[in-house]
Amino acid sequence: MTIQDIKARFGIIGFSSLLDHALNRARQVAPTDLTVLITGESGSGKEVFPQIIHQLSSRKHGPYIAVNCGAMPEGTIDSELFGHEKGAFTGAHEMRKGYFEVSNGGTIFLDEVAELPMFTQVRLLRVLESGEFLKVGSSKVQKTDVRVVAATNVNIPEAISRGRFREDLYYRLNTVPIHVPELRERTEDVHLLFRKFAGDFAEKYRMPALTLQPDALRLLMEYRWPGNVRQLKNVTEQLSIIEQKKEISAEVLLKYLPQESFANVPMLFNNNKGGDLNERELLYKVLFEMKKDISELKKIVFNIINNGEPIHLENSDIDAERFLNDVQGHPVLHTNDSSITLSKPTHIDVKPHEHVEESLSIADREKDLIIRALEKYRGKRKGAAKELGISERTLYRKINEYGIKD
């Protein structure tokens, strides 16, 4: 079966060389029983490749089971995958077969495999190596003949370094790796996919199909599509239903494309090597950095007052004239350009190393930041929450906790 035959059979749209390479590798590995690990971002279409591998293999007449490992509760995941005996735990009123037993002779697709707990990873490794497993609550070893295809959007080598994924399991799963390209790497396919989705939704909702003006097409091709094919499909469906005018301009399309925005907060996440920061730790680090910046600013101002040197403020939101008047109680002589010249004071006793005692209470600083954010956005919690880098629900809880009237 050729690549074009595979595309036609499974409804795959695109002519990207990266996509063709991934499909060709799936076709080559399908007749074997080798374990396959499919990687790629969320929404890129990884779930199609296990079906291709299964249908082109000698196991195509056997069962095919797709399991989302991230959707199963941690307490019951072993029972779901390997089964359990009657009375193995509370609520186990009868014996139950697991997915590995049910899919004997066929293929099992483990989606989001990186979400498996560590103790389940040990059980999975044994199945991959010997085909043996134990039901929960049983001491009898059972065998299964199943082909495993796994997929993940997680950087597994990084997860291994953090101790969240077993290195030996990774090498066992990664016998044949297949990387599904992101949509931004398949720019030549974006318009084809849009036309396909537009035609499908036009037929589904019985309305004219969408068309794009040249500027809208250019925007469609240049957008990064962080949600990949899934996001493109959702945007096309929204446009089909909501827009009355079916010829879409760039201005209209832009309304449906989320703009990538970055909060005005120091880049702490990149320096975080120990794991995720919680909300309080992040806030404390931000305040600590702000205090250090203010101390540096004070030293600069004191040096300027002593030496009469100009201050160069570029792209600053600070009201420099008012700030300097407040700091030194001396009039500003010149503010027409980017520099501010101060006449050297004659009767000011400056103490550069004087330390002003400030409150170090995290709660006080947190409350003050929330109040300032609410004032900036005139009481609108959505904008304030975005500015603070927290959810609206968390902001609402903090407002009630501190008794802030917005």
Instruction: Give the per-residue pLDDT at 339.
Output: 46
The answer to whether 187 and 221 are in contact (CB under 8 A) is yes
Q: What is the pTM of this model?
A: 0.63
The answer to whether the beta carbons of residues 131 and 169 sit under 8 Å apart is no
Element (H, E) at 147: strand 147-152
What is the pLDDT at residue 292?
75
Question: Which candidate, 302, 297, 305, places its Cα nearest to that of 342?
Answer: 305
Q: Let me know: does 310 contact 340? Beta carbons within 8 Å.
A: yes
Between the alpha carbon of residue 256 and those of residues 127, 216, 235, 249, 250, the distances in Å are: 46, 12, 6, 12, 10
Q: Where are the alpha helices (DSSP H) in 30-87?
A: 48-55, 77-82
In the predicted model, what is the mean pLDDT of residues 22-42?
A: 96
Q: Indicate the DSSP class of residue 367.
A: H
Q: Are strands 132-134 and 141-143 parallel, antiparallel or unpaired?
A: antiparallel
Residues with Cβ < 8 Å from 312, sequence gap 6 or more? 338, 339
Distance CA 344, CA 321 (A): 16
Domains annotated on the chain, with CATH: 3-179 (3.40.50.300), 187-255 (1.10.8.60), 270-340 (no CATH), 362-402 (1.10.10)
Does the pLDDT of residue 317 top 50, yes or no? no
Residues 6 or more apart whose Cβ sits within 8 Å of residue 271:
none
Dist CA 84 CA 98 (whole Å): 7
Residues 41-69: tens digit of each pLDDT: 999 999 999 999 999 999 999 999 999 99
What is the pLDDT, as a whole number, of residue 140? 92
Highest mean pLDDT among 188-202, 296-310, 371-385: 188-202
Q: Would you state the pLDDT for residue 337?
A: 46
